[in-house]
């Protein structure tokens, strides 16, 4: 390591000045120092060539490593699709293990339970209201009138069935008529 009082190309590289971001105009962010001597310019040009060669070498090494990696994966039978599946599975596991996901899941579960309870409660209320309507004097009067009509139309059957039975018998009669009509149409 160089002592803090030394200066040179190594120290220049270790400075903590701001680093130019991709896309920034490097010339606009560099403070133009005093003019360099011919010797300093030549030394910097040599260093520039050396760094560019190192970058080229590292790019070639990286390309060779990537090619070797692809060859190993091919020999192991690891396909891009398998990698994608594994990445998606791992990503999903990462998502489901987050606190935000767990809280959201818990909240939605509770909301579902509350909605279910509310629907159940609504169903109970509707059932109770229908029972109240069925037991109301108006409905009883209507039921009696329907039964009287049924006994007059039906003839010999005694009155005494409830409204549900009347509806069932009417539905059965209608279904029987429909089947008879279909049978008659098919034979023609």
Tell me, yes or no, whether 141 lies in a domain: yes
Residues 64 and 89 in one domain: yes
pLDDT in tens, 6-59: 455 555 555 555 555 555 555 555 566 678 899 999 999 999 999 999 999 999
Q: Per the domain annotation, does 91 fall within a domain?
A: yes
Residue 155 within any structural domain of the chain: no
Give 90-146 pLDDT, tens digit per residue: 998 888 889 988 888 889 888 888 888 888 888 888 888 888 888 888 888 888 888
Residue 52 lies inside a defined structural domain of this protein: yes
Domain interval for residue 123:
111-150
What's the confidence (pLDDT) of residue 3?
A: 45
Asked if 88 and 129 sit in the same domain, the reply is no
Residue 66 predicted with pLDDT over 90: yes
As for how many domains the chain has, the answer is 2
Query: Which residue would you say has higher pLDDT here, 165 or 85?
Result: 85
Q: Which residues contact 65 (CB under 8 A, 6 or more apart)?
A: none
Shared domain check, 127 and 90: no
Q: Does the residue 118 lie in any domain?
A: yes
Closest CA relative to residue 165, chosen from 180, 186, 150: 150
Q: pLDDT confidence of 73, banded at 50, 70, 90?
A: confident
Whether the Cβ atoms of residue 29 and residue 18 lie closer than 8 Å to each other: yes
Residue 106 covered by a domain: no
Give the burial class of 107: count Cβ atoms within 10 A of its Cβ; 0-12 exposed, 13-18 middle, 19 or more buried: exposed
122 and 85 part of one domain: no
Q: Does 31 reside within a domain?
A: no
Do residues 92 and 44 both lie within one domain?
yes
Average pLDDT over residues 159-176: 63
């Amino acid at each position: 390591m160089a002592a803090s009082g030394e200066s040179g190309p190594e120290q220049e590289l270790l400075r903590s000045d701001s680093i130019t971001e991709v896309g920034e105009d490097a010339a606009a962010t560099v403070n133009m120092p005093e003019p360099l001597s011919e010797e300093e310019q030549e030394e910097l040009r040599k260093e520039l060539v050396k760094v560019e060669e190192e970058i080229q070498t590292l790019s070639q090494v990286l390309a060779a490593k990537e090619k070797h990696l692809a060859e190993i994966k091919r020999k192991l039978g690891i396909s891009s699709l398998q990698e994608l599946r594994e990445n998606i599975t791992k990503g999903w596991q990462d998502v489901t293990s987050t606190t935000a996901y767990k809280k959201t899941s818990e909240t939605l579960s509770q909301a579902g339970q509350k909605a279910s309870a509310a629907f159940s409660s609504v169903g109970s209320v509707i059932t109770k209201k229908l029972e109240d309507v069925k037991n109301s004097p108006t409905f009883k009067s209507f039921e009696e009138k329907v039964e009287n009509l049924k006994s007059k139309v039906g003839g010999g059957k005694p009155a005494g069935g409830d409204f549900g039975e009347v509806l069932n018998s009417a539905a059965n009669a209608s279904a029987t008529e429909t089947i008879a009509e279909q049978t008659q149409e098919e034979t023609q």
